[in-house]
């Protein structure tokens, strides 16, 4: 499919409100194509806004939670609704009265408040410090953090509110991805991790539930509740934190977290995107640790024989049991995934079945005299009337082939 046809299909999809898989579209073009695609994506978002609202309006906060509930505000933030709950706290949709904008507020429990180290974040000062460091990270694939502070026995981190679906929701609803789309997501995550690592942080919980695809197509790394600041390539922390099926094997035996443990998590996430499963599984933390110790794992090639070799190699190296065999940095993994994308079969951009069908109909039809005519009809109308009449007679088995009818159209004689 040539460039003009591909962009024409995208324009048709935008005009008719058909959903577009923007990451897949961006992955199939060169730098100049991506610049045009980005502009089309902006137009799509503007068109969607006008379709949904009809007219522009001034942002204002939705009604707060019932004031009779235990928590209606937290500092200058008005809590609007609970949107999630995790091991160490809750996430709320909130309204920042200082910034006059909607935010997501993660309230983390401290040990002083719970008396239970296993259900708390540990040192509140460290979490606040790391939240403030993360607030200085500005990258399109990293959620924007606005602030962090301790209050009322909790540590709060508030950040931009993302509207979209997590990668876990996408895979559970739509099934596994192909190599190109999974690699495109992985490249965005490598960009995000590179920015986080450069700021001196580790994420420590990169999972499908902690990565969102925004409604406009942007991939966003979120949820730094398990994050740690690190120095000299290591956090110096040997405590087990994170989601077990994504954790590197050395963390189960007291090893320290570093950039390569985040790389392992990205590799496990790519495996999940392609298979809807994980390389090492178990019913408990102990079972998963034992499986790592035995070297029991499902190879990606055995689960998805159809995947291209460069993609399989990238995932297997990212999830290698020996940290020394993994990619050292997010940039190294990105380079491998970029090579995998180039090696994967090129398919038409996924711009929606409806848009593709419309494009096919438009290519196969022409307008003539205000009527939509198929190509064959146009050819027949273009032939002289006498030619068409003789051709019809020939099809009925009457008459001879006239001299002015091409041989291929002479159907009534042998």
* Cα of 30 vs its chain's centroid, Å: 20
Contacts of residue 373, Cβ cutoff 8 Å, sequence gap at least 6: 365, 366, 367, 381
Taking Cα atoms as reference points, which of 276, 277, 259 lies closest to residue 318? 259
Taking Cα atoms as reference points, which of 245, 252, 311 lies closest to residue 272? 245
- Judge contact between 281 and 245, C-beta under 8 A: yes
Q: Where are the alpha helices (DSSP H) in 54-178?
A: 111-114, 124-134, 167-174
d(CA 19, CA 351): 7
d(CA 414, CA 402): 13
Taking Cα atoms as reference points, which of 3, 352, 10, 24 lies closest to residue 187? 24
d(CA 262, CA 198): 13
Phi, psi of 82 (to 5 degrees): -85, 130
- Judge contact between 146 and 159, C-beta under 8 A: yes
Residue with tokens 């040192």, as numbered in its chain: 123
Catalytic residue among 96, 205, 262, 338: 205
Helix (H, G, I), strand (E, B) or coil at 275: helix
Structure tokens belonging to residue 27: 């992955």
Q: Is 178 exposed, middle or buried (0-12, 13-18, 19+ CB in 10 A)?
A: buried
- Judge contact between 24 and 34, C-beta under 8 A: no
- Judge contact between 249 and 297, C-beta under 8 A: no
Taking Cα atoms as reference points, which of 359, 361, 388, 389 lies closest to residue 374? 361
Q: Does 262 qualify as catalytic in the annotation?
A: no
d(CA 385, CA 406): 14
Q: Taking each helix axis from N to C terminus, what angle separates 179-198 and 259-275, rounded to the nearest 10 degrees? A: 160
Catalytic center residues = 205
């Amino acid at each position: 499919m040539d460039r003009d046809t591909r962009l024409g299909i995208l324009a048709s999809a935008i005009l008719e409100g058909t959903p577009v898989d923007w990451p897949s579209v961006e992955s199939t073009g060169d730098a100049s194509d991506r610049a045009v695609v980005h502009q089309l994506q902006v137009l799509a978002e503007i068109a969607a806004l006008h379709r949904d609202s009809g007219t522009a309006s001034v942002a204002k906060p939705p009604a707060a939670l019932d004031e009779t509930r235990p928590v209606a505000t937290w500092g200058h933030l008005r809590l609007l609704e609970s949107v999630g709950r995790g091991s160490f706290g809750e996430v709320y949709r909130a309204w920042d009265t200082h910034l006059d904008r909607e935010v997501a507020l993660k309230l983390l429990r401290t040990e002083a408040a719970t008396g239970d180290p296993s259900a708390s974040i540990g040192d509140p000062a460290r979490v606040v410090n790391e939240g403030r460091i993360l607030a200085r990270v500005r990258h399109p694939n990293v959620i924007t953090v606005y602030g962090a502070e301790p209050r009322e026995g909790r540590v709060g981190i508030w950040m931009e509110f993302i509207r979209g679906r997590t990668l876990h929701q996408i895979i559970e609803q739509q099934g596994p991805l192909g190599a190109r789309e999974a690699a495109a997501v992985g490249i965005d995550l490598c960009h995000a991790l590179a920015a986080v690592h450069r700021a001196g942080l580790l994420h420590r919980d990169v999972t499908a539930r902690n990565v969102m695809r925004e409604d406009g197509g942007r991939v966003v790394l979120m949820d730094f509740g398990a994050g740690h600041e690190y120095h000299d390539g290591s956090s110096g922390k040997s405590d087990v934190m994170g989601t077990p099926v994504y954790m590197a094997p050395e963390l189960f035996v007291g090893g320290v977290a570093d950039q390569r443990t985040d790389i392992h998590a990205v590799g496990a996430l790519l495996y999940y995107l392609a298979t809807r499963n994980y390389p090492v599984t178990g019913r408990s933390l102990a079972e998963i640790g034992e499986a790592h110790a035995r070297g029991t794992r499902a190879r990606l090639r055995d689960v998805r024989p159809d995947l291209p070799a460069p993609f399989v190699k990238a995932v297997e190296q990212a999830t290698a049991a020996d940290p020394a065999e993994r990619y050292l940095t997010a940039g190294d993994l990105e380079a491998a995934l970029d090579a995998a994308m180039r090696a994967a079969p090129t398919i038409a951009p996924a711009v929606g079945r409806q848009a593709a069908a419309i494009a096919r109909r438009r290519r196969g039809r022409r307008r003539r005299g205000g009527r939509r005519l198929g190509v064959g009809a146009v050819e027949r109308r273009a032939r002289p009337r006498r030619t068409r009449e003789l051709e019809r007679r020939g099809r009925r088995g009457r008459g001879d082939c006239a001299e002015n009818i091409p041989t291929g159209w002479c159907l009534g004689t042998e």
